[in-house]
Amino acid sequence: MDKPQLIEHLHESLNYTVYDTKWVPLSAKFVVLGAKANGHGIMDIYELNKDKLEKVKSVEKKVAFKCGTFGAASLRNRHMAIGDFEGRLQVLDLEQPDLPVYNVKAHSAIINTIDAIGGTQIDCGAPEIVTGSRDGAVKVWDIRQGQAPVVDMSPPPQMGDGVNSARRDCWAVAFGNAYNAEERIVAAGYDNGDLKIFDLRSLSVRWEATMKNGICGLEFDRRDIPMNKLAVTTLEGGLLVFDMRTQHPTKGFSYVEERNAGRSVGTNGVISGPKATVWVVRHLPQNRDLFLTGGGTGSIRLWDYEYPDKRVIDDADGNRLGVAGTMHMVSAATLSSQPVHCFDWHPDKLGLAICGAFDQSVRVLITTKLNTY
Amino acid sequence: MQSEKKKTLLEKYEIPISHLDFAYVETCKNAREMEKIVHILRSGEEGYFPDLLRCSEEKLKLLKPDSKLFRYEENIKKSDILDKKELKPILDWTQDIKTKDSALNELKNEKQSLDLPSIRKLGKIELDKPSPEPAKPTPAASSQPAKAKESRIKSTDYSKWDKYDPDEEILRMDLDEERSKEEADLKISIKDKPATKKELKDEKQAMYERLQTQLKRLSQLEREQFADKHRLRGNEYFKAKEYDSAIEEYNCAILYDPENAARSYNNRAISYMKQSNYVAAIMDCEACLQLEPENIKARLRLADANYARGKRRESYYLYQRVLELDPENASAKQSLKNLNSQLGELAPASATRLMIEELKPDADAGKPKEKTEVKPPADKQTTVVKKVPPPVAKKPTLAKKPTVADAPPVKEYDLAELVKPNRVVNSKLVSAAQALGNKFQAPQGNSPKKPVQSNLPSNEAMPAMFRMPQDNLNTSNKLLIQEI
């Protein structure tokens, strides 16, 4: 077999619900964020030690944790930004997690999703954190700024306060296009399938589209290059990859779509069972054209994106129109009977990954032969 | 198995049952239909036919090798299926990364004073309020019907119809359309205004300078990390065939960590080669080899670049250097084989081609002299017959002294072949050669007089080897050439 194989290296069962897992950059440690049965938040730090997992630290807080990221942390401090169930955003030093470095009541409801940028690259703008919440708002934070968001993308107040109202629920956010100090884009996906691309430089909505189903996952293939691709995953098994190089004046960005990406393909390629959500999409840090999706049936799939011969064509009106490439499924494996909803590739080691599923466990995975792509 | 209401796959796909047959599968050319047949057979709704299924799967594989039906999924394997050998890199890596980790932790206490970009001005993007761009079409749309109402001319209002100019109206419509298109374009172009080349260059220069100052404040560990990131990103661009961006990334990688930049140099070399910038590629290969003298890829690329530049002789030795390291290198072997087959026709580095020129009648009143230069180089001889007007003495030939020492046995020269295009009569050849021989000896002494034209320095383009029919060659001539 010369195609990549997904292998479970280590498995750790936990006594709480996992919501997010992230590798600590440049280390063999990872952080597991979750909620205990009593509603308390828990943060565990594990370390890979030979062929065992060792729990290094465990921190419990009053409010359950939902999501976290190291994107805005420099290599030296490696602070983690965490969003919780009550809409609080805090930045923690893993050495002294009791006293947050930064703490703000960011939203009036749970922070569903978080992304950050600017920590580990030089000359690509300020370190910033973006959060998306059930209150419908998307906010960008700079921890040097104090208690107000630097950019606020909230629905107008007449739509209610975000607790019991018609406001849309923001499920996914992602940074992108930060190739110099000024340019920066935030993509946000909502529960009704709306996809909005905000331009932070010109403070405008750059593009809007609506998918057939609610958007669960979003990721630019790279955050710190001129926009190249954006992967979008939805309920009911949709996986779309947009070519973000060329924006057509009326048609927007072109895309390639894969339906049923969340369902299990079975052992013989015949898809069966109900439609399942694609919870998460993560691009390989070492190769942006390979990405992995985690599905509602407890399976993960590795995809390969192939660019078309010509990425841009001129349409009849002389406008530039992007051409989407094709997606191939490289490999697939069933991990669990419950959805795989969080996944993180190790930023420094090709093929090493950590994933969390709703079966109250985290797994360290190894993917072989990724270097052949 | 299937309920009364639910359609079987056979009905759903509208495939006649007779198509589930070896003979049909054999002749089917339609990949989509084949997929449906395989799907039906796999579902087992029509019964279990393992041979037919295998046969149709094979057929489908021929028709559509990347069909979704060949996707399969299995339960995840445990790491014990991996060899110790395969797991070892991971275990080694954990050790390695832990040392880096603790090094970073020590760095943590050091104060780092990078100039971070300033905080963004507070801003707000209105979500559902129509933003200025979508706002435009709305008023335009609403105002248009009003305007249309005003300007609408009743069919009975003849005086107005007299004034009506359809051309003007058409022009107006065209202009409107143009304007809306321009607005749409503007919407996009605001976002990505193409900067001029100079601006880009200045910007880049400024960026590199900024990086330089920032770099001094980074530890070696951090620099390594950043450099590696840039290198990987360069590789991605390279894969997507965007060589300019790839080179940019490699530039950064080299800038960040010049001491461990061998791989970046090497990769930048191949990017340059893809752009046919062989000089830069050669420089990068050499830079890489300076850091890692044993790097086979760099050696191979150096040879390839030299070959592509037309320096076949150099590339020959460079390919041999590759084989010194890796005697089994297929690429180098193949290139050497090709070179060997060409080498027979290949002039040495020191050789110069001489042009054969027709004498212009008015150039000299005197008898046209025929001169032949015999350039006896290392392994082949370039013999050039030349008729030149005497006054055009250009270059002394002495400079190209024949190196007889390593000259291989003299080959036969087919002067006839050379002569033909230059319209020298065949019968004159012998005398010409003779004259040539005499003349040749003389100039050895007083070279400056010798009218040699060496205006074609690269003699690889045309094989300059002469083969003279035996009967045309007298012995003295042959001897002369051999002496040389």
User: Does this complex have an ipTM over 0.95?
Assistant: no
pLDDT higher than 70, residue A26 = yes
> If you average pLDDT over residues B263-285, what whole number do you get?
91
Strand pairing partners for A353?
A345, A365
What pLDDT sits at residue B438? 56
CA nearest to A187, candidates A134, A140, A249, A118 = A140
pLDDT digits (tens, 9 = 90+) for B340-366: 887 665 555 455 556 666 665 554 444
Task: Report the residue of chain A nearest B235, measured CA to CA.
Answer: A287
CA nearest to B25, candidates B69, B50, B55, B47 = B55
Burial of residue B226 (number of CB atoms within 10 Å: 0-12, 13-18, 19+): buried
Higher-confidence position of A234 and A118: A234
Percent of chain A at pLDDT above 70? 94
What is the residue extent of each domain of chain A?
Answer: 15-273
Collapsing DSSP states into helix, strand and coil, what is residue B387?
A: strand
Q: Which residues contact B271 (CB under 8 A, 6 or more apart)?
A: B234, B238, B243, B246, B247, B250
pLDDT digits (tens, 9 = 90+) for B361-383: 554 444 444 444 444 444 444 44
Determine the Cα angle at A278 with ends A274 and A283, to 5°: 150
What pLDDT sits at residue A77? 84
The CA dihedral of B305, B307, B309, B312, to the nearest 10 degrees, is: 150
Angle between helices B312-325 and B330-343 (to 10 degrees): 150
What pLDDT sits at residue B294? 85
Backbone angles phi, psi at B32, to 5 degrees: -60, -45
Strand pairing partners for A305?
A327
What pLDDT sits at residue A353? 94
What pLDDT sits at residue A122? 67
CB A150 within 8 A of CB B122: yes
The CA dihedral of A99, A103, A105, A107, to the nearest 10 degrees, is: -110
Q: Which residues of A touch B117 (CB under 8 A)?
A: 125-126, 181
| B251–A contact, CB cutoff 8 A | no
Q: Which residues of A touch B6 (CB under 8 A)?
A: none
What pLDDT sits at residue B128? 62
What pLDDT sits at residue A160? 59
Cα distance from B284 to chain A (closest Cα, Å)? 23
pLDDT higher than 50, residue A113 = yes
Count CB atoms within 10 A of the CB of residue A3: 12
Cα distance from B259 to chain A (closest Cα, Å)? 20
Strand pairing partners for A48?
A53
pLDDT higher than 70, residue A153 = yes
What pLDDT sits at residue B220? 83
What pLDDT sits at residue B347? 53
Backbone angles phi, psi at A84, to 5 degrees: -120, -175
Residue B2's pLDDT band (cuts 50, 70, 90): very low
pLDDT higher than 60, residue B408 = no
pLDDT digits (tens, 9 = 90+) for B73-124: 778 888 777 777 777 888 888 888 888 888 888 877 776 666 677 888 888 8
Cα distance from A85 to chain B (closest Cα, Å)? 24
Higher-confidence position of B141 and B362: B362
> If you average pLDDT over residues A326-337, what whole number do you get?
90
Task: Report the residue of chain A nearest B68, measured CA to CA.
Answer: A269
pLDDT digits (tens, 9 = 90+) for B447-462: 444 444 444 444 444 4
pLDDT digits (tens, 9 = 90+) for A29-51: 999 999 999 999 999 999 998 77
User: Strands across the sheet with A6-13, in order?
Assistant: A340-345, A352-357, A361-367, A6-13, B77-78
Q: Which of residues 389-448 of B touch A (CB under 8 A)?
A: none
Least confident of A180-189, B181-190, B267-276: B181-190
Residue B14's pLDDT band (cuts 50, 70, 90): confident
Task: Report the residue of chain A nearest B78, measured CA to CA.
Answer: A8
pLDDT digits (tens, 9 = 90+) for A59-93: 999 999 999 999 998 888 889 999 999 999 999 99
Give the type of residue at A367: T
pLDDT higher than 80, residue A237 = yes
The pairing of beta strand A151-153 with beta strand B123-124: parallel
pLDDT digits (tens, 9 = 90+) for A91-109: 999 988 989 999 999 999 9
Mutate to test the interface with B, among A122, A153, A229, A297 (most CBs of B within 10 A): A122
What pLDDT sits at residue B463? 42
Distance between CA atoms of residues B453 and B457, nearest Å: 10
Of A136, A334, A348, the CB nearest to B73: A334
Would you say domain A15-273 falls under CATH 3.40.50.2300?
no
Cα distances from A167 to residues A134, A162, A170, A192, B25, in angstroms, run: 8, 6, 9, 10, 55
What pLDDT sits at residue A103? 93
Q: Do A127 and B116 lie within an 8 Å CB cutoff? A: yes
Domains and CATH numbers, chain B: 9-70 (no CATH), 201-343 (1.25.40.10), 370-483 (no CATH)
Higher-confidence position of A226 and B438: A226
Backbone angles phi, psi at A243, to 5 degrees: -85, 115
What pLDDT sits at residue B145? 44
CA nearest to A173, candidates A124, A140, A125 = A140
Residue B48: how many CA atoms within 13 Å on its side-chain side? 0
pLDDT higher than 50, residue B144 = no
Residue B260's pLDDT band (cuts 50, 70, 90): confident
Q: Which residues of B touch A117 (CB under 8 A)?
A: none
Does the model's pTM come out above 0.80? no
pLDDT digits (tens, 9 = 90+) for A251-298: 899 999 988 787 777 666 666 667 889 999 999 999 999 999 998 888
Q: Which residues contact B366 (CB under 8 A, 6 or more apart)?
A: B390
> If you average pLDDT over residues B452-475, what whole number do you get?
44
Q: Do B71 and A348 lie within an 8 Å CB cutoff? A: no
Q: What's the mean per-residue pLDDT of chain B?
A: 70
